[in-house]
Amino acid sequence: MPTFTAITKLTSAEQAYSLSEAMENMTPEPMGVGVFEMEDGSNLWEVGGYFTDCPDDIELALLAQAFDATPFLVSELPEIDWVAKVRRDLSPVEAGRFFVYGSHDADKLPDGRVGLLIEASMAFGTGHHGTTLGCLRALDRLDLAGFRGRNVVDIGCGTAVLAMAAAKIWPQPVLASDIDAIAVEVAQVNIEANELTDRVRCLEATGFDHPDLQAACPFDLVFANILMGPLIELAPEMGRVTATGGHAILSGLLVEQAEQVLAAYVAAGFTLHHREDIGDWATLTLLR
């Protein structure tokens, strides 16, 4: 099956993420859209969409014009075993005591580490990205400081790596949710691969908008590794569903966005407990 890419460049991170959201509504719909800061010193951002059908040139031109982007470059990729390629390219990730790996690296799990198996075909959320890495480190810091999560939820869970990490170090079951049905399926596969089906339950939901999530609150730890806009929108609700003395670990935001997100959460009753910047990405650990 052919795969087509449509790639453009922008000068603004905010515009790049806005364009990526707009591309999700294209026809034909992309299999996925990625946003990357270019590492050539140009201060440009690259947005790329992946399609099984050739994208419409006119729609791409209109999007580029609307978001002040360069014209899209459309290419057809050679038919490559991408899963095999990812397996070759993705090495295990260590985040505190956590060790995130694919099944092809199962023999590399060190003694005494908490292993989290994420298959290469589900590469987003493997821990290679600064946001996931930051959240895992934040969880490790809280645990080492004596915090024990008894009612934990992972909002926008993706691969469910954060929910699984909490379930592996603490005895109580963990809830996870994602707005995307495919992400929920991916999460469920990972939960089963890690033998956590009785410990992690994944729901399809927008934010906390699910009766099971509402019934379970207040939470003493909330993960939300999403984007700046949804994080700010969730702040008032996050303040309501997080127990006094509980924590929220937030990421998916750029370093320059951290203060704006923090201000929204301070207004919702949180204080900053810890902040870590990894490359261009910030992770906030907040106390309610």
- Residue list for the binding site for S-adenosyl-L-methionine: 132, 156, 178, 225
- To the nearest 10°, report the CA torsion of 204, 206, 208, 211: -50
Place of tokens 């024990």: 148
Residues within the annotated binding site? 132, 156, 178, 225
Element housing 287 (H / E): strand 281-287
47's CB contacts (< 8 A; 6+ apart) are 7, 8, 9, 10, 16, 19, 20, 23, 33, 34, 35, 36, 69
Q: How far apart are CA 153 and CA 10, in angstroms?
A: 35
Distances from the Cα of 145 to the Cαs of 149, 242, 265, 273, in angstroms?
Answer: 12, 19, 23, 12
Tokens of 228: 């700046």
Q: How far apart are CA 124 and CA 138, in angstroms?
A: 19
Tokens of 200: 């992690």
Place of tokens 């929920």: 184
Tokens of 146: 């004596």
- Check the CA dihedral 262-280-278-50 and report its sign: positive
Burial of residue 109 (number of CB atoms within 10 Å: 0-12, 13-18, 19+): middle
Q: How far apart are CA 124 and CA 104, in angstroms?
A: 17
